[in-house]
Structure 1
Amino acid sequence: MTDAVLAEVLDENILVITLNRPSVKNAINSDISLGLRAVFEDLDKDDALRVGVLTGAGGAFCSGMDLKEFARVGKPQGAQVLLREGTKKPLVAAIEGVALGGGLELALVADLLIAASDARLGLPETRVGLFPSGGALYRLPGILPKPLIAELAFTGEPISAERAHHFGLISRVTPPGAALDEALKMARLIARCAPLGVAASKDLLRGSQCATADDFWLRQRELVQTVFWSGDAAEGARAFAERREPLWRHR
């Protein structure tokens, strides 16, 4: 495991993942992209872990691709796969400072974005001869109005967390320095819920952007057969009737 990505388990079921290149505002190089892929795989494979929280060290989330490395050897190894696949389990991004270029595209891999009020988000790639190529132009049309996406991609100008929240990109806005604490609160709420139900919800949300209505209803019916007749569904009903916390068993 590289020191560029740190992983810490909290509360036995939350994995806090920290981008750890603070001297360059956690710019994405091969160490970060390969390290993140490994940590994401660990998150998905470990049944004890319910949710991941992605943050950055040193008061910044991520300033984008490391252009110095790019000038020498090209795009970071594994970055395209990382940004395309993400995680099967819920992921919450805690954004302080900046989430720019590949940093914003990395944040978009998460299911929920929490940002400090003074954070800036943007796609400045065209200012350095590139264009957003890590999924932003696929994911953002389902969230932001097309003219705003065009503004971000064509001009390279960032927007504030408050504006991003207004249009629905950011789930919650916090005072500066509090994004991680708020993301952990959200993660704990997710971790209390049934893993099978959360996984099914993410499955449907992930596929809904490109699915037809018939595809959506067919996939939902399949998931209903899996989840509604599971032991966890029975446990949830019993726990509700008995006024106690449920004991989820992932089956």
Structure 2
Amino acid sequence: MSEDAVLFEARPDGIAVITLNRPETRNCLARDVRAGLFAAWERFGADPTLRVAVLTGAGRTFCAGGDLKEMVATGMTVPPRDMFPVPYDTVELSKPTIAAVNGAAFAGGWMIAQACDLCVASTEASFAVTEVKVGRSSPWAAPLIHMIPQRIMMEILLTGKPIDARRAYEIGLVNRLTEPADLLPVALELAREIAEAAPLSVRAARDTVMLATEMGRAAALHAARHASVPCYQSADAQEGPLAFAEKRTPRWTGH
């Protein structure tokens, strides 16, 4: 395996596989991992041939969170706003992302898994927001209220206790639950289903979901209609119905 802190695979099917590659430190978000992940997200966002990204971890841990030794050594108080590479927050992205959680996703590990649009988890995965155990805070967890019920969120944040993958699936944090050996294949199949869809339709769909979490019903409807105009006016919007009528696979251009 490469010595790079973060591995990047650009697959010919339009899927990027990004792997946190510091299993000896449980893939914690040390400086080299943060830098590698920032670079990987930037590469994914800038490459028009890549449609979906899958984020996973090497070894038996997805990500154990921030580097506590670094925090002690630097006397860190409030983390710098741009310290962590969080999709759609400190990293600008408009394409879908999938977390493939192979083991523990604790603290910052939960943060980057939560930030992805979708989540596939191995039955060996576990999730925890452990900040209360070490005197830190988790403001990044605020969007979790749109994913799971309030009382469950409250218990997770107040106790810092882990939940297993099945519980994460039951409360809606995880989309697909798999056996460990099937984790990446299932995540790639989900990514492939998205990558095969019309690019502008996927973007409009993602925008619609995110707008709906930010606004009231009427405002979200208005904003979503506006966000859908480029999709409706695209050549792909004509190609899709034509391909259906001609009983062939659509040839998407993203325009």
> Does TM, scored on the shorter chain, surpass 0.5?
yes
Q: CA RMSD in A?
A: 1.7
Give the equivalent residue in structure 2 for 1:50: 51
Matches within 5 A, 1:74-85: 74=76, 75=79, 78-80=82-84, 82=86, 84-85=89-90
Question: Normalised by the size of structure 1, how large is the TM-score?
Answer: 0.93
Instruction: Count matched residues.
Output: 248
- Residue segments in structure 1 that go unaligned for 5+ positions in a row: none
Between the aligned residues of both structures, percent identity stands at 38
User: Which amino acid is the alignment partner of residue 66 of structure 2?
Assistant: M
For 2:207, the aligned partner's letter is: D
Could you list the per-position Cα deviations for residues 103-128 of structure 1 after superposition, in whole angstroms to 9, with x for gaps in the alignment?
A: 00100111110001121101111101
AA aligned to 1:68 is K
Spell out the pairing of 1:139-150 with structure 2 (5 A cutoff).
Answer: 139-150=143-154
Q: Cα gap change, 1:46/1:107 in structure 2, threshold over 3 Å: closer, same or farther?
A: same
Give the residue type in structure 2 aligned to 1:98: A
Whether the 8 Å CA contact 1:126–1:154 is kept in 2: the answer is: yes
Hey, which bits of structure 1, 4+ residues long, moved more than 6 A?
none
Which deviates the most, 169-178 or 207-216? 207-216
Preserved CA contact (<8 Å) 1:126 1:156: yes
Matched, 1:230 2:254: no
Residue number among 161, 167, 177 corresponding to 1:173 in the alignment: 177
Pair 1:216-2:220 in alignment: yes
Please identify, of 25-34 and 87-96, the stretch whose mean Cα deviation from structure 2 is larger: 25-34
The residue aligned with 1:94 is 100
Q: Give, in whole Å, the separation in 2 of the partners of 1:185 and 1:52.
A: 12
- Among 101, 120, 125, the residue aligned to 2:126: 120
- How far does residue 214 in structure 1 lie from its aligned partner after superposition? 2.9
CA displacement, residues 197-233 of structure 1 (integer Å, 9 cap, x when unaligned): 0011111212221212232122222133211121011
C-alpha contact 1:33 1:78 (8 A) present in aligned 2:
no
CA distance in 2, matches of 1:202, 1:30: 31
Listed as ranges, the gaps of 5+ residues in structure 2 are: none
What's the TM-score once normalised by structure 2's chain length? 0.92
1:238, distance to aligned residue in structure 2 (A)? 1.0
Mean Cα deviation higher: 50-59 or 211-220: 211-220
- Quote the offset at 1:80 in angstroms: 4.4
- In structure 2, the partner of 1:246 is 250
Name the counterpart of 1:26.
27
Aligned residue number for residue 159 of structure 2: 155
Distance 2:217 2:35 in 1: 36
1:76 Cα deviation from its structure 2 partner: 7.7
Residue 44 of structure 1: CA displacement? 1.6
Could you tell me how far 1:81 is from its partner in structure 2? 5.8
User: Which piece of structure 1 moves more, 238-247 or 83-92?
Assistant: 83-92
